[in-house]
Structure 1
Amino acid sequence: MLRSKQTRGFTLVELLVVIAIIGVLVGLLLPAVQAAREAARRMSCSNNFKQIGLALHNYHAAYNQLPAHSRGTTNTANSGSPNPALRRDGGGGHNRNELSWLPGLTPFFEQQALWEQISNPMDSDGNGVVDFQAMGPDPRMNISDHGAAGNRYSPWLTNIPSLRCPSDPGEGLPAQGRTNYAACLGDSTHHMHVGNQDDRAVSPSTGWYTAERAACRGVFVASRSTKFSEILDGLANTIAAGEICTDLGDRDARTWPADAPGSIMASSSDPTGPNNALECRPMLDPQRPQFWVNGAPFVSSPAVTGPDAEMARGYKWAYGRPLFSAMNTILPPNSEICMQDNRHNEGVLPPSSRHQGGVHVLMADGAVKFITDSIEAGNSKAPPVRHDGWVINPAGSKSPYGLWGALGTRANKELIDGEF
């Protein structure tokens, strides 16, 4: 009598148990994989910043000064838009002295080819007329504008990988060339966009030089170059630059410029308040406090197109106005930005990032540190240090913004004991 050979298979219950186990393992592993990927992106971002720090030191070794921020070429009768990538002023190829700290660094972080286009100069349309002209004794700090109207100057539109954080997904229009790394202008909003303007016709009665010395206390100062010898607090204790998010068009309070309904610098009628760095905070969405409420008074609407749509955080790496390539140490990292009437002028501009819990900052000694959002930041309602007859915090005052503010000043003699 022959018996048939039977093969035993999996029962339905056993199969479901195996699938359930696999599902649990995947659920446990996916967050770990995502965390590993973000850790790798964060490390890459830190390495990019270290390269910029090394470039800063090499630049200083070559020229005995740091690259100037918001400086470049101009003429005596400039007019029109101050945006170096939109159109050419009637006076010829120049940039209205408003290039950021980054163009001069390009040959120092392996962007020599781009620097050759900027400095030669470039004739993009081949008509025999250069797009811009270089003026001044040091062409690295005196580079100029694009050419004829409608001919957008391609170097300023170039996205440079070493200026981008891999965790930031922003790309494409309406931005020009994006940057995630911004120069530190100190702990005050006053004159942060103009400095002393020592290359323009200025009456001594304006007091710009006095105002600049009082308020512009960062490693970088608009309209002039600084040196390491000016950083009396120590290179290891002073922030040279900070990380910033670039705008995604989603009303993110860290990247889209809201217009302060009052003054972010207090006022002569009431210097103690209520105007201060928190002037824009009532416009935050209570349900999503990282975003502006729909209908907040933006400097320009997120729905606009054309040149105004380009006016957002990190959208122009070569443009020296604070919104695009600078930061200050007033509100702690990842707080909202708040502009004073005009996207080109003063603003409360904390650093920001897509990393969890904080931002990278570049110290003046070249070290990159991760600063948490919870860093001690003093009294956010305090008016900034500035020069005025009625001011509460005059020149030389201790930073009202605690440890965070102290890290942003180059020569205020604050002592820092321990890690931060």
Structure 2
Amino acid sequence: MTKTRNRQRHHKGFTLIELLVVIAIIAVLIALLLPAVQQAREAARRTQCRNNLKQLGLAYYNYESTYNTFPMEKIDFTGATPPINFQQNCNQMVLPYLDQVPLYNQFSFNTIWSDPSQYTLTSTNLTVFQCPSAPSKESRTKPSSVTPAVENPTGYPYPTAVGGYGVCDYMALSGARASIWGATGNTIPTTALSPVLTLPGNAPSTKENRFTSVMHSTMSRTIANVTDGLSNTMMIAEAAGRPAIYQTRKRIVAPNVVTKDGWGWADPGFSGAIDGSTDDGVTINNAKKGNAPLTNATACPTGACVGTCFVNCVNDSELYSFHIGGVQVLMGDGSVRFVSENIGAMVLAAIVTGDAGDQVGEF
């Protein structure tokens, strides 16, 4: 007689402890890999930001090749209706060299940039003006959302209906203010002060405390004017995140808190001169204007020049980026350099000024 035996089948599986160990290992691997992935993404964004600056440099040099001068940062225009006197900026001048001929042809230079008739154009987002590391246009504080709503200029509300102005994370450098020297205890130079040209009807001024970079805010500059050398002089730099206010790494959300200007690539106030601020970014230096010779006492009276931070402390027309450790800048020769947050004030002054005769150190 054949005997049969019942065999029990045993299924192998994970115990609870083994499962927890596997989960822990996976968590550790993710923790190790995530920073590397984030760093790789930021490296790609930083490279694109660098390429944007190079494209802008090529556009400005193509303009210079055509007209034998760099464009003025702000160009004076006279319109048929109020405001009679207003300004357009150099970004509009170089649109044809950024493959934006249709945009250039449609733009009315005889109408102020912020007029509602220009909204379709000025609200256009151009990737060459936006650093990928900076917040998206949609996530930035809108001047129309603060209390009370801010207008730029007065009488021209922010175009919320069309999504706001096309952003600009870069600024053309019009120079360095006397506060770089005054706030750091250095003697303000008495040469290379920038002449000021004013719109008709405004009070005349002969000099101010700005020491010019490659371009000038209200007058033409040529390559020959940059006697310190194009490779030693900054031309365009990051001032990212506008019109939202960022102090250190925090966005300031409060009533009536947006940048004074730099609201878009068409805003004449997108350019700026470096003033510096306190380390927390709350107080921006306010060196006074005056005729040459300018002294520390006249340019920086008590309370005017109190901050010694010049990189990544505040983005209101100051050097500011969302990269770790510094900002990217376009030099006058078309190269892109990375300027550290820890750069010395006098080294920064040397690479911002184009004809002050100062010596450039390592940076």
* Shared fold, TM over 0.5: yes
User: Is the contact between residue 106 and residue 112 of structure 1 (CA under 8 Å) also seen in structure 2?
Assistant: yes
Q: Write the letter of the residue equivalent to 1:44.
A: Q
Q: Write the letter of the residue equivalent to 1:237.
A: N
2:83 and 2:260 map into 1 onto residues whose CA distance is 26
The CA deviation string for residues 132-171 of structure 1, in whole angstroms up to 9 with x for no partner, is: 4xxxxxxxxxx23259975454222222111000011141
2:351 and 2:330 map into 1 onto residues whose CA distance is 11
Q: Which of 115, 123, 131 matches 1:165?
A: 131
Residue equivalent to 2:267 = 319
SS at match of 2:88: coil
Deviation, structure 1 residue 26: 0.6
Residue equivalent to 1:262 = none
Map 1:305-344 onto structure 2 (within 5 A).
311-312=259-260, 314-321=262-269, 324-328=270-274, 330=276, 338=284
Distance 1:25 1:13, change over 3 A: same
1:117 and 1:332 map into 2 onto residues whose CA distance is 42
Q: Which of 221, 229, 253 matches 1:226?
A: 221
Q: Which of 21, 28, 41 matches 1:24?
A: 28
Deviation, structure 1 residue 60: 0.6
Deviation, structure 1 residue 311: 4.9
Residue equivalent to 1:253 = 247
Residue equivalent to 2:338 = 370
Q: Which of 333, 339, 352 matches 1:408?
A: 352
1:197 and 1:64 map into 2 onto residues whose CA distance is 21
Deviation, structure 1 residue 74: 1.4
Indicate yes or no: 2:356 matched with 1:356. no
User: Is the contact between residue 211 and residue 356 of structure 2 (CA under 8 Å) also seen in structure 1?
Assistant: no
Distance 1:248 1:220, change over 3 A: closer
Deviation, structure 1 residue 410: 0.5
Indicate yes or no: 2:55 matched with 1:89. no
1:148 and 1:52 map into 2 onto residues whose CA distance is 23
Equivalent residue pairs, number: 296
Indicate yes or no: 2:164 matched with 1:181. no
Distance 1:25 1:149, change over 3 A: closer
Indicate yes or no: 2:66 matched with 1:100. no
Deviation, structure 1 residue 116: 1.9
Structure 2: gaps of 5 or more residues: 144-163, 180-193, 288-303, 306-315
2:16 and 2:195 map into 1 onto residues whose CA distance is 75
User: Is the contact between residue 72 and residue 144 of structure 1 (CA under 8 Å) also seen in structure 2?
Assistant: no
The CA deviation string for residues 189-242 of structure 1, in whole angstroms up to 9 with x for no partner, is: 69xxx9522663678xx452xx15x73422222221111111111110000111
Q: Write the letter of the residue equivalent to 2:106.
A: Q
Residue equivalent to 1:37 = 41
SS at match of 1:187: strand
User: Is the contact between residue 187 and residue 329 of structure 1 (CA under 8 Å) also seen in structure 2?
Assistant: yes
Distance 1:416 1:98, change over 3 A: same
User: Is the contact between residue 351 and residue 359 of structure 1 (CA under 8 Å) also seen in structure 2?
Assistant: yes
Q: Percent identity?
A: 31
Distance 1:334 1:238, change over 3 A: farther
The CA deviation string for residues 89-108 of structure 1, in whole angstroms up to 9 with x for no partner, is: 164xxxx3422221111111
1:51 and 1:333 map into 2 onto residues whose CA distance is 32
Q: Write the letter of the residue equivalent to 2:75.
A: R
| TM-score (normalised: structure 1) | 0.62
Deviation, structure 1 residue 338: 2.4
Q: Write the letter of the residue equivalent to 1:303.
A: P
1:332 and 1:183 map into 2 onto residues whose CA distance is 23
Residue equivalent to 1:239 = 234
User: Is the contact between residue 49 and residue 368 of structure 1 (CA under 8 Å) also seen in structure 2?
Assistant: yes
Indicate yes or no: 2:60 matched with 1:56. yes
Indicate yes or no: 2:150 matched with 1:145. no
1:52 and 1:317 map into 2 onto residues whose CA distance is 12
The CA deviation string for residues 251-294 of structure 1, in whole angstroms up to 9 with x for no partner, is: 5237xxxxxxxxxxxxxxxxxxxxxxxxxxxxxxxxx9x677x9
2:60 and 2:95 map into 1 onto residues whose CA distance is 10
Structure 1: gaps of 5 or more residues: 79-87, 119-131, 133-142, 255-287, 295-301, 378-401
| TM-score (normalised: structure 2) | 0.71
Distance 1:215 1:227, change over 3 A: same
Q: Write the letter of the residue equivalent to 1:404.
A: L
Q: Write the letter of the residue equivalent to 1:71.
A: I
1:108 and 1:367 map into 2 onto residues whose CA distance is 18
Deviation, structure 1 residue 327: 3.8
Could you say what the CA RMSD is over the residues aligned between the two structures, in angstroms? 3.4
User: Is the contact between residue 145 and residue 153 of structure 1 (CA under 8 Å) also seen in structure 2?
Assistant: no
Distance 1:335 1:226, change over 3 A: farther
Residue equivalent to 2:255 = 303
Indicate yes or no: 2:212 matched with 1:217. yes
Q: Write the letter of the residue equivalent to 1:113.
A: P
The CA deviation string for residues 56-79 of structure 1, in whole angstroms up to 9 with x for no partner, is: 11111111011111113115xx9x
Deviation, structure 1 residue 364: 0.3
2:231 and 2:54 map into 1 onto residues whose CA distance is 14
User: Is the contact between residue 170 and residue 247 of structure 1 (CA under 8 Å) also seen in structure 2?
Assistant: no
Residue equivalent to 1:156 = 122
